[in-house]
Each structure stands twice: as C-alpha cells, then as structure tokens.
Amino acid sequence: MITTKRLTIRSFQYSDLERVHQVLSSAFNEDPNQTGALNNRESWLNWSILNQKWFHRLSQPPFGEQAICRNNDGLLIGVIGLVPCLDRFDQFPELSNMEKTSGLTQPEVGLFWAIDPDYQKQGYATEAAKGFLEMIWNELKIKRIIATTEYENYQSQNVMRKIGMKILKNNSSKPPWLQVVGVINHPKLD
C-alpha cells in the first residue's frame, strides 16, 4: 500500500468491481453496458487480484494495476500500475544503444494510470504517479520507467512532464500505436 497526501494506492478487492468498471469505462470512452463488458471487467479484476497475491509470493515485481482511492472518503477514482511493455522502442535514440533502428521489439517497464474523468485535472494522476515512482525507485530499484500515450493525449503528456519524464515523439508513422513515450531514469543515474 502506498499513501500520499490525498491518496492511497492499494490492491484491488472483489468489492471494487462496479466502481472500477465505471472508472475504466469512463476513462477509455467504453460503453459500460455493452454485452459482456461487466463480465470481462470481473475476469480482469479477478486476474488483477491474483496477480498481486502471486507476484508477491513468487518475489516478482508487482506487475498489474492497483486502485487509486481518495483518503478523505475512500472513493476509488483511478487505477495505476506497473506494466510490461514490448515494442520497437529503439526507434527512439534515447532508448536505444544501437546506431540504427533494428525494427525489433525490446522490453521496458511501464507505468500505467487512468483517472475517472470526473476527477481529472485535480492533480490526482500526478500525485499517484509520484507516489508510485517513489516505491519503484526505493523498493524495486528499477533503472528506467516509461509511459506511452497518443499524440493528442495532452493530459497524459502533462502528467509525464510533471513527474519528470522526458517526452519522446515517434517521428515515424510505424507502428501507428507507438506515438509518444515518456522516459524517466532512476534518480541515482542523474
């Protein structure tokens, strides 16, 4: 569990289903009433809960999402997590140790967040990400963290900047989903 001034980041509970379904559906412009949507979210929630239990038991990094809750009322307002990323990151010179692009994928450790639109633009994503990064640096000692988003997602890019990430933009149209990458190195490397 991570606690900041206004937030607590905790493992999911089965009782979070309806609220996390609402939060993620809103954050990603999904229809929460689409056939099978709640069942899919329940399956994802069960997987997320098992991830947190088993990664810990196996002494593995805590990959997967966790709940972001407000301290004053316990309301779940978002999701944050450590996610494995596999893509053609060597297209960005800052992420490559090669002189030319290989076209091959490489693994990176990513930071993911999503906040209920009703609670965006209040600094919650930045506060949660800073708290999560502190845990990443102090406990996991990960060398570098990335985050990815789209060209037009200025809110996520602003969060990236506020937490100290360098913003990298893909100058190539390929792959079309790899548009913006935020990068931050462990403070010991600066």
Quick one: which of 158, 156, 53, 155 has its CA closest to 111? 156
Handedness of CA 25, 152, 69, 73 (dihedral sign): negative
pTM for the predicted model, two decimal places: 0.91
Sequence spans of domains, the chain = 2-189
Non-local (6+) Cβ contacts of 173 within 8 A are none
Pick the CATH number of 2-189 from 3.10.20.520, 3.40.50.970, 3.40.50.261, 3.40.630.30: 3.40.630.30
Q: Say if residues 49 and 15 touch (Cβ distance below 8 Å).
A: no
Q: What is the pLDDT of residues 34-87, one digit of tens each?
A: 888 889 999 999 999 999 999 989 998 889 999 999 999 999 999 999 999 999
Q: What is the pLDDT of residues 115-160, one digit of tens each?
A: 999 999 999 999 999 999 999 999 999 999 999 999 999 999 999 9
